[in-house]
Structure 1
Amino acid sequence: MSRDNPTRRDYLKYGGAVIGGGLLAGCTGNTESDSAPTQTTTETQTSTEATTETETAEATPEDTSYTVELSPAGEVTLEEPPTNVFTHFPWFPDMASALGQGDTINNHWWEGMTAGLEYFTSGFDDFEIEWAGKATGWGFTKEQLYELDSDLHLVDPSWVTTQDNWNQSDADEVATNLGPWLGNYFSCYHAAPPEGWADSYEYYSLWDLFDRVATLYDERDRYDALASVHEEQLSTIEDGLPPESERPSVAYLSISEDLSAIYVLRLNAPGYWNSHTRPLGAVDAFADADISGPFKEVDMEALLEADPDVILALWTVTETFDFGTLKQNLADDPVGRELSAVQNDRVYPQGTRWQGPLMNFFQLEMTAKQLYPDQFGAWPTYENGDAYPEFSPDEQLFDHQRVEKVIDGEF
């Protein structure tokens, strides 16, 4: 589908070079969001000829556009904050909710993210996931994007060009006729970008991405408040970590209830998928494994050979996964029962690597307590359907109430 007419959005500009060339983006996002009404200044001057001349000059309004730079899209400028935003991967809807802008999200891929965020934010009063029910499954078409008619597409344009029925001209068309792309998928685990993009591709943290999104939404105050809490949380964790020699070995797994599929993931690798495990500095039980992609399938014997002190099991804090059954099956399995983590009851549930800043707060706290109970307080036993535990203020590793207030607009 194409349009012969100029773009409908005179108020939205896609800056920088055409995305097809691949752009070298800067590492910071800048906002010019301080808006001011037009001011009229009247100056009266009395000359020596007794002539009074009144000069009235209208000041030029300040630029109220919102500009960020992010590889690979380059520079993106919106004349107004977006009100209709397309996303695919779950970390961007999380960001919108954190900024009090969840109602702007018109699409995302995975409904499981809704359940995960509901679990972690269960202690927040009146917190609403406004994009719940808007998951459409994996992938999307150009026709769908024209139907949604979004101001902004929070998706990496280089990733888009790797998908079926998409090419560079399609991506350029959407950016021109609808709204720009903004995303950086391959920072998730510092994967190699697709051919044609590698020379200019840069990697960013989860909070780097959040910074740019906040600027485009004109939500710098909310972002700064949340970033301050995040910095305090990281500092609290860093100060409390035991010496490296006393840290446990950890198997970070995606594992089925019946043990028929076991996948090992990196624990300390770069990328925002590890933004809740890497700061904790535990020992990766599979650090020497040859993992060429984001994960590697192993069997129970390989797991026993590594024999981790702790097992972290992804995707397990939802009602669709029976975590109790998983633990029982490990205890009943002739190989699984030999695992130190099983014998010492150190098999723990986890959320998802596909986290935005809200889930990152809770998953950092959760994982720190699971790995270092002596330093940060023990993680309670999890039963299917449980809500996130209520920790007293002195047990919290970040200020839960502060985050809730920021989301509600109290800075």
Structure 2
Amino acid sequence: MDRRRFIAASGTALGTILAGCTGQTETQTETQTEGETTAESESYTVSIEPLGEVSFDQVPETWVANNGSWADMGIALGQEPPKGVWLTSRYHTHYYDDIPGLSVDKSDMVSLSKSGSVSKELLYELDGDVHIIDPNFLMNRFDGWKQADIDEVRENVGPFFGNTIFSTNYPWHDDYRYYPMMEAFEKLAQVFQQQERYEAFEAVHDEFQANLAPVVPGRSERPSVAVTWASGDEPEKFYPYTISSGTSFKHLHDLKVKDALAKTDVKDFHSSRGAIDYETLLEVDPEVLLVRGQEAKSAEEFQNTVVEFMKNHDVASSLSAVENEQVYRAGSLYQGPITNLVLTERLASDLYDADTTLYDRQRVADIVAGDF
């Protein structure tokens, strides 16, 4: 297979990587800065750990994303949706219903994870110009992926560019830094050469934070919440999440909630892969119970199924959160600049009875459409 037009140069944690030629001549000596092109060449370089410097000789048009965090960033930058994400079911495009005129069609989007593994052949088939995927995620989460496979896909299909930003609880992530959502977003903006769009979204994010600040009460009045994962309409077991770094917890950090599980004997799901039952939840007895795995439901559907089931459950009905009607959807694992606005405002309404609009929906729509 012919080499692609995109190249990746020396990496930090993954060693020296090369996927093609830059097409530059000896006369092209003008210095390039990260994320910027020169007057004499379209080639540009963007740096991200663990890959180091990744160079492109043309702006990518098609792409594959690890998850909804990166997918949402691409949409915010005015790009076509990625050809694939890890699980399409966890990329909740209905969040865009809040934004005037914005919708994303997932009908042709492919789930990269099939029966718990990711096929190298699928990446060949998708033929993306760039893979916004942390190679360490592939090599540590899925059997069969080795450095040689990463090198092969990069050489024959397109480079990798990414960092596992949604969670820092994987032990293999200790070897290199984690990027907060907005910093990762800025990196992707450099890949797609959409720095002005990023700057416009940065202003929206800053204004949102300013609007949110007076909504969040003082520490003594903030609720203690337990974050769990439970699917189905009648959950009997829960996977516990302690609130840590990562885009999956950004809205909770922004809302400054207290972590009900942090100082208990309950082990975080990432380290234990274990579940807890209602009896254990009752021992913790959080003020608020936040349930993940329920994002396909509306608030009303969630209350009429999961919460109604808890109210009629012998043990769950004794939980303070159930008695006080403080059980809510927890929000997605994967958040980008648009979905974070939607989820943070939603949970601010749930937790703090905020009845005000915290961000300008039309402004978001305008930026995505190219009106900065």
2:356 is aligned with 1:400 = no
Distance 2:316 2:126 in 1: 49
Per the alignment, residue 138 of structure 2 pairs with 160
Distance 2:171 2:77 in 1: 29
2:85 is aligned with 1:108 = yes
Per the alignment, residue 181 of structure 2 pairs with 206
2:10 is aligned with 1:30 = no
Distance 1:95 1:66 in 2: 20
Distance 2:123 2:40 in 1: 33
Q: Unaligned regions of 5+ residues in structure 1, if any?
A: 24-28, 36-60, 378-394
Distance 1:252 1:368 in 2: 15
Over residues 137-178 of structure 1, what are the superposed CA-to-partner deviations in whole Å (9 max), with x where a residue is unaligned? Answer: 514222222222221011101122222221111111212222
2:124 is aligned with 1:124 = no
| Contact 1:67/1:76 (<8 A) preserved | yes
Distance verdict in 2 for CA 1:68–1:121, change over 3 Å: same
Over residues 14-36 of structure 1, what are the superposed CA-to-partner deviations in whole Å (9 max), with x where a residue is unaligned? Answer: 1224863389xxxxx93214x6x
Distance verdict in 2 for CA 1:174–1:91, change over 3 Å: same
Per the alignment, residue 171 of structure 1 pairs with 150
Name the aligned partner's letter for residue 90 of structure 2: M
Distance 2:93 2:325 in 1: 26
Per the alignment, residue 162 of structure 2 pairs with 183
TM-score (norm 2): 0.85
Distance verdict in 2 for CA 1:252–1:365, change over 3 Å: same
Alignment of 1:3-18 (within 5 A): 8-9=3-4, 11-17=5-11
Pairwise CA distance, 1:67 = 1.9
Over residues 69-110 of structure 1, what are the superposed CA-to-partner deviations in whole Å (9 max), with x where a residue is unaligned? Answer: 11111111112110121223222221111111024x221232
| Contact 1:66/1:218 (<8 A) preserved | no
Distance 1:191 1:145 in 2: 26
Name the aligned partner's letter for residue 236 of structure 2: S
| Contact 1:312/1:349 (<8 A) preserved | yes
Match of 1:288 among 263, 279, 287: 263
> What is the number of residues matched between the two proteins?
347
Pairwise CA distance, 1:293 = 4.0
Per the alignment, residue 294 of structure 2 pairs with 316
| Contact 1:65/1:80 (<8 A) preserved | yes
Name the aligned partner's letter for residue 366 of structure 1: R
Distance 2:69 2:44 in 1: 21
* Comparing 290-299 and 148-157, the one that deviates more: 290-299
Pairwise CA distance, 1:349 = 2.1
Per the alignment, residue 64 of structure 2 pairs with 86
Distance 1:83 1:67 in 2: 16
Distance 1:221 1:8 in 2: 31
Match of 1:67 among 33, 45, 52: 45
Pairwise CA distance, 1:131 = 4.2
- Identical amino acids, percent of aligned pairs: 31
Per the alignment, residue 352 of structure 2 pairs with 372
Name the aligned partner's letter for residue 211 of structure 2: T
Distance 1:329 1:68 in 2: 50
| Contact 1:93/1:131 (<8 A) preserved | no
Pairwise CA distance, 1:208 = 1.8
TM-score (norm 1): 0.78
Per the alignment, residue 29 of structure 2 pairs with none
